[in-house]
Amino acid sequence: MILFVGLGNPGAKYTKNRHNIGFMVLEEIARDHDFSPWRAKFQGQTAEGRLGSTRVVLLKPDTFMNKSGQSVRSALDFYKLESTDVTVFHDELDLEPGKVRVKSGGGHAGHNGLRSIHDHIGPHYDRVRLGIGHPGHKDRVSGYVLSDFAKAEAQWLDDVIRGCADGAGALADGDAPRFMNAVALRVAPPRASKTEPKTKPQAIQADPSPESGKTPLQKLMDKFR
């Protein structure tokens, strides 16, 4: 069994916030892979199902972002899991919008949700970093992450969310490259070649008037005329 954790804030007010992209991905995984209905558990919302042969529990903490670790710790204790059985999906300011990266361990880079998880289970868990871009100045970060995605961002956001759901089975198997490939196929799908077929070059017609322009065969034929 493994635990997929999506980070966000509970309540309709925050549903479409950039900070809630982790929730959005888990909700798509649950829909796409026929997980059980969501129910309240571990100070959050959980859904259970299988990705391939792996049993997976999805967890959306209801503790608000800066206390997410409490919910994760409760789930780990109940299922007797290790921190290495956890994968956290979270918004990432240091990646451009639409970029996705998988990371194992490391620091929390000031992310309040990750900081709380660090405090409760340590740093040894996997993360799926979901790029949302940076507002340009640290003083604008709070308002930026707590604002809704713009309408112009809808396409790449949908591609990322669906791509993560497509690759969820690979991620559950520990195959990060295959997961990343599934995301890439949504975000940057291969396009059919639009190159026009090359036309055969037209034969170059030699000017027969100048003697120097005649072919050897033409010169030979002239001798017998």
pTM: 0.84
Residue 213 within any structural domain of the chain: no
19 is catalytic: yes
For helices 112-121 and 68-79, the axis angle rounded to 10 degrees is 40
Residue 194 within any structural domain of the chain: no
Q: Which domain holds residue 146?
A: 2-187
Residue 134 within any structural domain of the chain: yes
d(CA 35, CA 59) in angstroms, rounded, equals 12
Residue 82 within any structural domain of the chain: yes
Residue 211 within any structural domain of the chain: no
d(CA 121, CA 16) in angstroms, rounded, equals 28
Residue 148 within any structural domain of the chain: yes
- Which helix (H) or strand (E) segment holds residue 128: the answer is strand 126-131
Residue 175 within any structural domain of the chain: yes
Q: For the domain that residue 135 is a member of, what is the CATH number? A: 3.40.50.1470
Print pLDDT tens along the chain (225 aa): 999 999 999 999 999 999 999 999 999 999 999 999 999 999 999 999 999 999 999 999 999 999 999 999 999 999 999 999 999 999 999 999 999 999 999 999 889 999 999 999 999 999 999 999 999 998 999 999 999 999 999 999 999 999 999 999 999 999 999 999 999 999 988 776 555 555 544 443 444 444 555 555 555 455 545
The alpha carbon torsion through 51, 53, 54, 55 (nearest 10 deg) reads 80
For helices 21-32 and 154-166, the axis angle rounded to 10 degrees is 50
- As for how many domains the chain has, the answer is 1
Residue 195 within any structural domain of the chain: no
